[in-house]
C-alpha cells in the first residue's frame, strides 16, 4: 500500500493530538511529513520524536533554534513563521493536509494547501467562515478535495448521498439539521451568566477541546460558525440549515429528505471518529473509539435553541444574511472578544455585545479575493478592540 503523506497544521492542539493518535494506529497507511505548533514546544518535540517528520514549524526563529537543538539527531528540519506554514502545506510530496490551527491564523496555510490541490481535512472552521466564497472557488479551481472534520459536518457528509455533487435539491434534501450540545450553560439561570469564569466556560459537558472553541460552545457562537460552515460545504441556503439542541451529543447531525427520511450519523462523542473517517475516506479504519452502546445511552433529547440565552447564534445568522465581508467581521470580532474573556478583561455576556457592535461598525462589502478577506478581518478586529476597551473602562 502506498502511504498517504500528511502535513498536520496545529499538531500540538486537541485536534492535532487526536489526529496523531489515529495516525499512530496505522503506520502502514500514513506517513507524517510535517508537524506545526505555535507554543508548547515540549509537546511538539515529543511528537517529532515519535513520528519523525521531515519538517516541524514553530512561531518564531528563537523557538525554532530551541527546538532544533533539542531535536538534534532526529532528522527533522525546524522552520519558523507564517511563510513556513504555507510552505509545508503545499509541499509536492504531501498528499493530505489536516487544517487544525485555531482561528484566522489558519486561513493562509489552509488556502495554500487548497491552491496546491491537496486533500484538505478541514477542522479550522474559521478559515471557511471568513473566506467562504473565495475559499470554495479556489477548491473548485485547483481541484482540491475538501473533507469536513467538524463532527456535525462530517456527520452531514456521511448522511448525504455518496458522491454528493453540491446540489441539495436534486439530491432530494429538504434540510440539514445541525445538532448542538448547548454547552455548559444550557440550563444555568440567565442572571448567573454575567459572573461565569473562563474555566467554567471551558468545562464542556461532552467534548474536551481547545479553549477558544470551548468558549464558542458556551456562547453557541460555535454553532453559528458551523451554520456558516455548512452553508459553504454543502451549498445550502440559510433556511435549509436548522440548529437542534441535543444535550447528549450522540447524534452528530442529520439530513432530512423530501420523502420523510431522516439520515443521521451517531457515535460516542470523540473527534477521532470524524478524523479517521476523513483520513481513510472512502475506506474505514479503526479510530480507537469504542462502539456506541445504545443501552448505556438510554435517552436522546432535543430542544429548540433559545436565542435570548444564546444571542451569538442569531448574530451568525445575521452575518450570513448580510453576506460579503460580514462573516469575516463576525469571526474577527468573536476572536477578539473570546480572547478578552479568556484574559479576564471582558465579562461573558459582553462577548455578544462586542460582536454585535462590530457588525454595526463595519458595514458589509463585497469580497473578491484573499486580500479583501484579510482587510475585513483587520477591520473587524480593530472595531472589536475599541468596543472591548469601552466595556472594560466602564466596568
Binding site for Mg ion (CB under 5 A): 150-152
Which strands make up the sheet holding 4-9, listed edge to edge? Answer: 77-80, 55-58, 30-36, 4-9, 96-99, 119-122, 145-148
Task: Give min distance, CB of 362 to Mg ion, in A.
Answer: 26
Task: Give min distance, CB of 333 to ligand NAD, in A.
Answer: 16
Site mask for ligand NAD (CB under 6 A), range 137-176, x = bound: -------------x--------------------------
Task: Give min distance, CB of 129 to ligand NAD, in A.
Answer: 10
Other Cβ atoms less than 10 A from the Cβ of 145: the count is: 14
Compute CA distances 186 → 179, 210, 247, 306, whole Å.
Answer: 14, 20, 9, 9
Dist. CA 128–CA 226, nearest whole Å: 10
Task: Give min distance, CB of 152 to Mg ion, in A.
Answer: 5
Among 124, 159, 181, 219, binds ligand NAD (CB under 6 A): 124
Site mask for ligand NAD (CB under 6 A), range 31-70, x = bound: ------xxx-------------------------------
Dihedral over Cα of 205, 208, 213, 215: its sign: positive
Total number of residues shown for the chain: 395
**Is residue 389 reached through a cis peptide bond, with omega within 30 degrees of 0 on the bond before it?**
no
- 105 part of the interface to ligand NAD, by CB under 6 A: yes
The DSSP code sequence of 5-34 is: EEEEETTTSHHHHHHHHHHHT-TTTEEEEE
Q: Which is nearer to ligand NAD, 150 or 379 (CB)?
A: 150
Distance of CA 388 to the CA centre of its chain: 24
Instruction: Answer for the pair 340, 352: CB distance below 8 angstroms, yes or no.
Output: no
User: Which of Mg ion, ligand NAD, none does residue 289 bind (CB under 5 to 8 Å by kind)?
Assistant: none
Q: Which is nearer to Mg ion, 45 or 152 (CB)?
A: 152
Among 80, 102, 250, 346, binds ligand NAD (CB under 6 A): 102
The footprint of ligand NAD (CB under 6 A) covers: 10-16, 37-39, 100-102, 105, 123-126, 150, 207, 209-210, 212-213, 271
Amino acid at each position: 500500500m502506498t502511504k498517504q503523506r500528511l502535513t498536520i497544521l496545529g499538531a500540538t492542539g486537541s485536534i492535532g493530538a487526536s489526529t496523531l493518535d489515529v495516525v499512530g494506529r496505522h503506520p502502514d497507511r500514513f506517513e507524517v511529513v510535517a508537524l506545526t505548533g505555535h507554543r508548547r514546544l515540549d509537546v511538539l518535540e515529543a511528537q517529532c520524536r515519535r513520528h519523525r517528520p521531515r519538517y516541524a514549524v514553530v512561531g518564531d526563529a528563537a523557538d525554532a533554534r530551541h527546538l532544533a537543538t533539542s531535536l538534534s539527531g532526529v532528522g527533522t528540519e525546524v522552520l519558523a513563521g507564517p511563510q513556513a506554514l504555507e510552505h509545508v502545506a503545499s509541499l509536492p510530496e504531501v498528499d493530505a493536509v489536516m487544517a487544525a490551527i485555531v482561528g484566522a491564523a489558519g486561513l493562509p496555510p489552509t488556502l495554500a494547501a487548497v491552491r496546491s490541490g491537496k486533500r484538505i481535512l478541514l477542522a479550522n472552521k474559521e478559515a471557511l467562515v471568513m473566506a467562504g466564497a473565495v475559499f470554495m472557488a479556489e477548491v473548485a479551481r485547483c481541484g482540491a478535495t475538501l473533507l469536513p472534520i467538524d463532527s456535525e459536518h462530517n456527520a452531514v457528509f456521511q448522511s448525504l448521498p455518496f458522491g454528493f455533487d453540491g446540489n441539495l435539491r436534486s439530491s432530494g434534501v429538504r434540510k440539514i439539521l445541525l445538532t448542538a450540545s448547548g454547552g455548559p450553560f444550557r440550563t444555568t439561570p440567565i442572571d448567573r451568566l454575567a459572573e461565569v469564569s473562563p474555566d467554567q466556560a471551558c468545562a464542556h459537558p461532552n467534548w474536551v477541546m481547545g479553549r477558544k472553541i470551548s468558549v464558542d460552545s458556551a456562547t453557541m457562537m460555535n454553532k453559528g460558525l458551523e451554520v456558516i460552515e455548512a452553508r459553504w460545504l454543502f451549498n445550502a441556503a440559510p433556511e435549509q440549515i436548522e440548529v437542534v439542541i441535543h444535550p447528549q451529543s450522540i447524534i452528530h447531525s442529520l439530513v432530512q429528505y423530501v420523502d420523510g427520511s431522516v439520515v443521521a450519523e451517531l457515535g460516542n462523542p470523540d473527534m477521532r471518529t470524524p478524523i479517521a473517517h476523513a483520513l481513510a475516506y472512502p475506506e474505514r479504519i479503526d479510530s480507537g473509539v469504542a462502539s456506541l452502546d445504545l443501552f448505556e445511552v438510554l435517552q436522546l433529547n432535543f430542544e429548540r435553541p433559545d436565542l435570548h440565552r444564546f444571542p451569538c447564534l442569531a448574530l451568525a445568522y445575521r452575518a450570513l444574511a448580510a453576506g460579503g465581508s460580514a462573516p469575516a467581521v463576525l469571526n474577527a470580532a468573536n476572536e477578539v472578544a473570546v480572547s478578552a474573556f479568556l484574559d479576564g478583561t471582558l465579562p461573558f455576556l459582553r462577548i455578544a455585545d462586542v460582536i454585535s457592535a462590530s457588525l454595526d461598525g463595519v458595514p458589509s462589502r463585497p469580497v473578491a479575493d484573499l486580500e479583501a478577506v484579510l482587510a475585513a478581518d483587520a477591520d473587524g478586529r480593530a472595531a472589536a478592540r475599541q468596543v472591548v476597551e469601552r466595556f472594560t473602562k466602564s466596568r
